[in-house]
Each structure stands twice: as structure tokens, then as C-alpha cells.
Amino acid sequence: MAKVKTTFFCQSCGTQYAKWQGQCNACKQWNTIVEEIVQKPEISGWKSPSNNAKRVSKPLRIKDIDTSHEIRINTLDAEFNRVLGGGIVQGSLTLLGGEPGIGKSTLLLQIALKLPYKTLYVSGEESQKQIKMRAERINPNSENCYILTETKTQNIFKQIEDVEPDIVVIDSIQTLHSDYIESAAGSISQIKECTAELIKFAKETNTPVVLIGHITKDGNIAGPKILEHMVDTVLQFEGDRNHVFRILRAHKNRFGSTHELGIYEMQGSGLREVSNPSEILISKKDEELSGNAIAATLEGMRPLMIEVQALVSSAVYGTPQRSATGFNAKRLNMLLAVLEKRAGFKLGAKDVFLNITGGITVDDPAIDLAVVAAILSSNEDVALPKDYCFAAEVGLSGEIRPVQRVEQRILEAEKLGFATIFVSKYNKISLKNTQIKIQLVAKIEDLVGILV
Ligand code: TYD
Ligand code: MG
């Protein structure tokens, strides 16, 4: 009898070892290396219907390659389309990751139910009845959506040959297993093999496949890192389960930008697309409260008005606490140091808490000025006027630096009824006839002078 071939894989990063060891050399995790049985599959799971051996790919001159036919499928979900860069590309593999309960299955089922194309939704996690119950909450009348509960790839491919779907959704890649590999579902070698079979199927039949992937505690997609290299697009569905808003981002996108953001609201009847996020991200209060400031940020191509809240109070313990939600804590410390050094505020003995409302994480440096304004407002305990907003970066020497596409931000602020926007003096603005007052500031002292 042939000897069973085994190898050792790190369950955290997927690195392969010839023998067991306690710590993974690559990701430095302890006790993550596990023995798995591997067998090189002689035939792959997906066998294309045409005679495979004859179809050898030939090099083509680049001008002869035909891209004229429609290569993207419009998903009828504007947010999903935007994040993908205009729809699902034919023959592509998309991986959607996110915490349990965040709404991955809901999102993809909802898209599958809406699509005018034949869709096969394969679930290894829920029964057909459970999925039907979920579908009834969303959109019960769909002619084109087929539900299959199956976990073995060979059986899935058999059903695909019968149904001939235009789109395949797999919920989730961790529940699949292939006959050609003997280890358990969810193990590194199974995930690799099943993904490879699905890629072969997608590329040969030009059918797009969307995979759902679980994530680990630290937010990475469970399974080998190589999974993210194998697929064309990696999407992340984030948000706080207690908040109603969900955010869809692309971490990798072979067919578009990774800067776009999709925003949804979880409702009793599925996820609602939020096409005008600024209106909901700013809490509508009648009173003016200290410590709040509005930033005019950009996420991808879309302007987004976000509320920043700060709380500055005397430190209770010897070491003051600094904590930031949705904002980089190091950057917060830097801004506090700038305020201390350049504007003479004694913040060294104060606790500072910062929160970006709506559970959103912002990378746009243009939020700096709003953060500074919120801190100043809380420190002095004076509320900023409700119709002020801010869009500028703050430099180490206290200078207010220009930000990109400032005119777009100004127009969005004007549209939402803001009266004044603070921007850097060094931004070139050629807008005329604006209702909104554009307040130019050059140094942090200028801002302090106006606000306090
Ligand atoms: P689900 O899609 O099952 O999450 P995942 O697949 O990422 O694990 O999301 C389930 C949550 O969404 C669950 O807490 C119920 C809630 N939900 C709604 O609020 N409204 C709905 O219409 C549906 C279908 C689910
Ligand atoms: Mg699910």
C-alpha cells in the first residue's frame, strides 16, 4: 500500500513545513502547526465540458484581444457595483469576508434574489428551508435563484452542469471539501484545493463565482494567506453588529480601485443601500454640544460628512488615557502634541477620548482639522456652531495643509446646508458663487483664534 503523504501547515498563515514545530517561522504564532494528509489530485474536480486537452491557450497580439462584449454583470445593487468597480467581472472569483452575523449571507442572497440572471446559491451552512425563510424576509419572488445545500465540490459541479447558472455563490469556502484531498473541511489544504477547482471552473466557463469566507479573531480571512492571492477580488464586510450600518470595502481588486466604500443599513427586511451617507452619519441634534465637529472627508470618489466626537477631561489616574475609535491612535497623539506645542494647550495631564460616529474608520488625512476642533471644543467646553465643518490636514509644525479634491468637499458641505467650511489657505479653490463661507486658515493658531 502506498504510504499516506502528510505535510504540516500553519493554520494561521498557511506556511508548509516538513515536520512539526512549536512556533511558525513565518507568522510567529505558537501551536498553530497541524499535520494534514495531502494527495496530489490526478484529475481536478472541475472537468470542462469541451475536450480539455485540445484547448491549449495561444498567445494573442494585444490589439487582437476582444474586450468589446459586456464583461461585467450589473448586480442591481449600486453599492456592491461601486465597490467592485462597476459590477461583477465574468469569470472572476470574489471573496467576501466578515465577522459572523455581520450579514454576508444576507447580502449575497439579496443580490442573488434581485439578479435577472440564473444564480446558484450553494450553502454549506444552512438548510434550504432556513435560506427560504431568510429569502422571504428580503424578496420572496425570484424566478432565477436556485438554492443548493451541498459541501462536496464534485457534487456541486455536477449540479452546476445541470443548472448552468450565470453566477455561483458559495457560502462558505470553509465548509467545502473535495474528494481529492483527505483532510477535514476548513483545513488549509482543503481550502486551497477547493478554491483552485472553483478558479478552474470560473475561468473555463467564464462564470463569476462569489465566495464567502470566515475571518479569524484578528480580522484576517481564515485559512491560508494564499487564498487572498488566488482570488481576483477580496471584499470585507465590516461594522459593529450592534450598529445598523455595514460597510463594504475592497481590500484587493484586480478590476478596479480599492478606495470605494459601500454603505448599507441592516433592516428587518434585509440590507438597504445607503446612497446618501452624509445625511445619516451626522446626528441631528437641536442643541449644540461641546466636543463635536464635522469633517468633510472623501471615501474613494464619494464625499462623506462625518461627525467627530472628543472628550477631554482631567486624568483620574497618574497616566492620562488616550483612546480613539475609528481613528489612528498614534495620529491622535501627534495632534495632541501639536496642540500642546504650537497652541499652548496643556493636554499632557488630560484624558482624551475620540470617537468617529457611525462605526466608521477613516484614513483620509483631511479629518485632522475636525479632530483638532473637536478636542479644542471639549477642552474649552464651548460648542462649535452646528453649521461649521472642516477639511484639512494638520502638519507637525502646526501648519494647516491642503487636501485633495477640496472643491468636491466644499460642494457637498454646501449641499447639506453647512454655513462655513474651514480649509487650508494653501488649497487652490476656483469655485465661484458659493453660498457657503470658505474660511481659510494657515496655522493652528488661526483656528484657535477663530473658534475659542
Ligand atoms: P447573516 O447574513 O446570517 O450573517 P453572516 O452570514 O455574516 O454570518 O446575518 C444575520 C444577521 O442579520 C442576524 O443577526 C439577523 C440579521 N438580519 C436582519 O436584521 N434583517 C434581515 O432581513 C436578515 C435576513 C437578517
Ligand atoms: Mg452566513
Query: Where are the chain's structural domains?
Result: 1-39, 72-273, 280-451
User: Of 53-67, 255-269, 434-448, which range is least confident?
Assistant: 53-67
Contact 104 CB / ligand 1 (< 6 Å): yes
Residue 78 — φ and ψ, nearest 5°? -60, -35
Residue 108 CA: which ligand is closest? 1
Residue 171 CA: which ligand is closest? 2
Q: pTM (2 decimals)?
A: 0.76
Fold of the domain spanning 280-451: Ribosomal Protein S5; domain 2 (3.30.230)
Label residue 324 by pLDDT band (50, 70, 90).
Answer: very high
Q: Give me the pLDDT at residue 71, please.
A: 79
For residue 100, give the ligand 1 atom closest to its CA. Answer: 8
Measured in angstroms, how far is the CA atom of residue 102 from the centroid of ligand 1?
6
Q: Give me the pLDDT at residue 70, please.
A: 59
CATH class of 72-273: alpha beta
Q: Give me the pLDDT at residue 333, please.
A: 94
Residue 132 — φ and ψ, nearest 5°? -60, -40
Would you call 374 helix, strand, or coil by DSSP? helix
Q: Are 192 and 183 in contact (CB under 8 A)?
A: no
Which amino acid residue places its CA nearest to atom 18 of ligand 1? 268
Q: First-to-last CA distance in the chain?
A: 84
| Between residues 400 and 3, the one the model is more confident about | 400
Measured in angstroms, how far is the CA atom of residue 175 from the centroid of ligand 2?
11
The percentage of the chain sitting over the pLDDT mark of 70, rounded to a whole number, equals: 91
Residue 265 CA: which ligand is closest? 1
Q: Give me the pLDDT at residue 69, please.
A: 63
Which amino acid residue places its CA nearest to atom 22 of ligand 1? 270
For residue 268, give the ligand 1 atom closest to its CA. Answer: 20
Q: At what angle do helices 368-380 and 329-343 cross, to 10 degrees?
A: 60
Which amino acid residue places its CA nearest to atom 20 of ligand 1? 268
Contact 270 CB / ligand 1 (< 6 Å): yes
User: Of 9-13, 42-46, 70-74, which range is least confident?
Assistant: 42-46
Q: Ligand 1 pocket: which of 266, 269, 271, 272 to mutate (most atoms <8 Å of CB)?
A: 266
Q: Are 370 and 357 in contact (CB under 8 A)?
A: no
Looking up cell 487652490 gives 428
For 404-433, what is each residue's pLDDT tens digit?
Answer: 999 989 988 888 888 999 999 999 988 888
Rounded to the nearest angstrom, the gap between the alpha carbon of residue 31 and the centroid of all alpha carbons in its chain is 30
Would you call 325 helix, strand, or coil by DSSP? strand
For 223-248, what is each residue's pLDDT tens digit?
Answer: 667 788 899 999 999 876 667 788 89
